[in-house]
Structure 1
């Protein structure tokens, strides 16, 4: 009788091991390391056409995704030209503006907007000029809403303006922004001013 019980238990153990192997599961599997926090996921499409660059820019800004935002820009040669009013008010900031400055302002803006949703980037009056077979200039009016926590110190949560983007195709056939010129409307607060505020942290 005892031998029968032992035999039955042995069968159960063997059956359990077999099921575990068939299911492909292992109690010894390790978890994949989580990637660093770079904002919400968002969507980044392969920028094989100039207009996709705008779609990626909108998605990156609305999701406050730093990685995808920087993927829209050409590293390290990206050039930002601020609005004339922002240049006059903070000339020292723009002297050495670079892709690293873009990263700093965007990360600070994301940190100031944690646990909020409803960020929006709306583009209108979009027009494109052909510079060459691998270069376009895109003009658009923008309305940007970022629900950050600095409105109490005079940083608006909604801004409007206009930009001119120089978009170029690289050797791999993918497009990115090489130059960004910001234009304020009636000297109102623009994306340049927002950059300056969050760059200062």
Structure 2
């Protein structure tokens, strides 16, 4: 996993109706709304929260908003491709190295969806990034490092931590004028739990 992160860092026809069935299209038009009622529409806010990430700051704002509002679709959109990898904090990964061996976008979606299911509707988490430092490799590749505090409010009493802290390192890549996260490394900064602990628990429960 570490080598993968390092390598990424360095590589910086319409139907024909018969005349005798002229009333059939009218019937279909009347029945059409009933078909669409079978699917519950997504909240309008879900799509409006996403802004085309033509700049690094916009991508980070999209990512932060998705985490805080538990917007699974926008959270997933923050990452890119089959090459994305998450590198956990070693001490938090502990006895579960296999869990993170090939952690990619599907695993991000799985844990995040599980967290959302265990969170009361209308709950908003709080993510704060401080001491941010950007290292530009090329015009289309940059690494963002920052300290994070993630305040999580969820209903699974087996996971008691409310405040998660650590260092986040994101390798960002621009393609087709849009920035995405291509790698993420988590690092412990204190005795408390961090983002790796959150992913570890909610990907397995």
How high is the TM-score relative to the length of structure 1? 0.78
Within 2, Cα distance between the matches of 1:57 and 1:35? 25
- Please say which structure displays the higher CA radius of gyration: 1
Tell me the SS of whatever aligns to 1:115: coil
- What are the ranges of 5 or more consecutive residues in structure 2 without an aligned counterpart? 1-28
Distance 1:196 1:60, change over 3 A: same
Maintained 8 Å contact 1:44/1:56: yes
Maintained 8 Å contact 2:125/2:151: yes
Tell me the SS of whatever aligns to 2:168: strand
Maintained 8 Å contact 2:165/2:190: no
- Structure-1 residue corresponding to 2:78: 72
- Structure-1 residue corresponding to 2:9: none
Maintained 8 Å contact 1:105/1:195: yes
Maintained 8 Å contact 2:166/2:190: no
How high is the TM-score relative to the length of structure 2? 0.77
Deviation (angstroms), 1:174: 0.5
The Cα RMSD (Å) is 2.3
1:158 to 2:166 alignment: no
1:81-160 aligned at under 5 Å gives the runs 81-150=87-156, 152-160=157-165
Deviation (angstroms), 1:127: 1.2
Segment drifting more, 67-76 vs 90-99: 90-99
4+ residue stretches of structure 1 with deviation over 6 A?
26-29
Maintained 8 Å contact 1:169/1:175: yes
Deviation (angstroms), 1:77: 1.7
Within 1, Cα distance between the matches of 2:41 and 2:90? 36
Q: Deviations along 1:161-199, whole A, 9 cap, x unmatched?
A: 1101000101x1100000000011135311011000000
Deviation (angstroms), 1:30: 1.9
User: Number of residues paired by the alignment?
Assistant: 174
